[in-house]
Structure 1
Amino acid sequence: MEESEESEELREVKEESEELREVEEESEELREVKEESEELREVKEESEELREVEEEHHVQPGGKPLSRSKTKQTFLKKRRAKKSFTCTQCGNSFTTKQCLERHMMIHTGEKPFSCDQCGTSFKRSANLKEHIKIHTGEKPFTCDQCGKSFKRSEHLNRHMRIHTGEKPFSCDHCGKTFLSSSDLKKHLRVHTKEKPYSCSVCGKSFSQLQALKVHQKTHTGVREYMCFECGKTFITAGSLKQHQRIHTGEKPYKCSHCDERFSESSSRKTHERIHTGEKAFKCSHCDNRFSRSQHLKRHERIHTGEKPYKCSHCDKRFSESSSLKTHERIHSGEKPHTCDQCGKSFTIKSALKLHMKIHTVEKPHHCSLRSRPDGREQGRKNRRQ
């Protein structure tokens, strides 16, 4: 049970990561874009001004041209003189009053540009303009390989690595490579076991912010995505999409080593470890290794003695959610495993399997009977005198 819950969490994160990353990391990326744009603008301005200074000193009639180093020194003096607007908070200098005023918003926290759709505020109108694309659905950057569209050129560039196979970011611990630095950063938490995002309701911690957001919906009870085939509801669109493959029979993920196909990419990845023998998850207490993080987590409870699952009817605790579920049937009286021969029900599947032997296994001391002429029954073999 615990394993399926965690794999669902991971699957939801994987399938929705791109869109969620756009929303959750928007401010950070916009800030980076802003800083890069500002740097590029300043570099461009400096290049233009340096060229003007060089032309000024090299084209004077009858004058001796200055050397490159002297030209640059002259330029830098002019440049420093022009940067006369200095921040009183951090000492950074700017060429214009507008640049200084824009910079001061970092210190004051002022965000004068607000979205009229959701109320999110921004320091720059350009950042607001980018944000509004979330509401309008505008995606002007399209992949020429598969036709998928994106809100920003950076997202398209990152997506193109899927087609090129480029994975420039490598883990120093296990050598695994990734499409983006953010993916590498998240992966490193597998090794560090860092879980910086904690649920304020139950205290459960997560390595990814998206996983926490998905988990928090279990407390609110909001399940806004419904399957029109069977009426089952889900917390995320990714979960619904995954569920619908039960009805359609779609298995889009094929093993690269054999012809086996899967409805989930995570299931394919786990399956492929059968071929590769990869066991990336090592116990920090002993030398045991595992192909799944869930198996490692469950194993480590042997060492820690942790029993996080408590019965809601008594004080008994368990190391696995499946054990808790089985135990709680003692209190509820639930017996979900029924014999199709005689209708008897059992709380656990192993008990049903044991019971089925009554119907399938021949009794060794059974004696077949037949009728005698006098109406009495006797054994097939006459007793020896």
Structure 2
Amino acid sequence: MDDKNEKKKRKYVKKSEKSGENSTTTALKKKYKEKTIVLANGKCFRPKNFICDYIGCEKQFTENEKLLAHIRVRHTMERPLGCDVCHKTYPTERCLRAHQKIHTEGFKRFPQTSKKKYNYIREKSLVCHYSGCERRFREREYLLAHIRVKHTKERPFGCDVCHKTFPTQRCLKKHQIIHTDTAKPFVCSWVGCDYAFRTNQSLSNHTQSHLQLRQYACDECDSRFNLKRGLEAHKNTVHSTARPYTCDWPACEATYKDLTMLKRHKQTHLGVKQYVCDIEGCGKGFVTHNHLKQHKRQHTLPFVCSWPACDRRFPSNNRLQDHMNSHQGLRVVDCPVEGCDKTFTSKPCARQHLRQVHKYKTTEGLIPINN
């Protein structure tokens, strides 16, 4: 009997050693137990006492640290923690620690898969055959999507409701949400802004316009953009001479750099202003829905022109002042190039003049970038 008891004691000792309990883990367990509530049925739960106070959110968390991380990721877009090696920034300590592993010796990144036992790196064996590209992909579906978006400009997938076309099935499904789901649960928390969106990504993109970080800079001029797609559109329309989009209307040979501009042009052939502003006292008609959306934004802008018979509105007082200069004929900005006596009503007009006439790639140092 004594031998059996000794064997049991040894098993318990080994089990406690395997658990790895020490002074640190014991303190954490104690802290967890203090915050845990045991119900009458024996089940345990931790109360979520920390609530997000942003409008339309009200998510709850068990710890204040998790609430702060949520606010940074979903609302303020703050990234206060920086990597000492590559200077990338992150919203939480956990994200920073996960990133810093890539700088450790012997680190190897594996892609996430549904089954861990098949967690291996697949070779990118499919190569884009267009000259000068050489992009590689793991799946044929991604290669076809790349060729349609970057090279052929094909858009074979059409929406049954509004007849818009898309290069991939995924893009079409993402678009069709606007016809099936009318709810917009993601509300902008910025003071004085009541915009709402169907997806969190759309809200995140909208928030960038408030923060005005403009982290995407053009390498050919001094323009900066909040979104990467804004920079790409700028390069295609301003710095590129290619005009791949041609109007197929009979006897019309108009060409455009952008597909959106081509669609707007086609509406002029029809001449039907089917989109009407429903704001009281307005009633203006527009050829395209994009024109109507741009017009409606004008009604929400805070700075209104006081010039007689002019109802233009602007997002900032500086833009309004530039507009008033054009009414009054005031040309307050001089061209800084020696020998050029041109004057302008605003700094943006002067910067455009420097790029187009004097062929400056950047106006930094000549005219302030911020208006």
Which has the higher relative contact order, 1 or 2, with Cα contacts under 8 A spaced 6 or more apart? 1
Question: TM class, shorter-chain normalised?
Answer: 0.3 to 0.5
Q: Which has the higher helix share?
A: 1
TM-score normalised by the chain length of structure 2 = 0.41
TM-score normalised by the chain length of structure 1 = 0.40
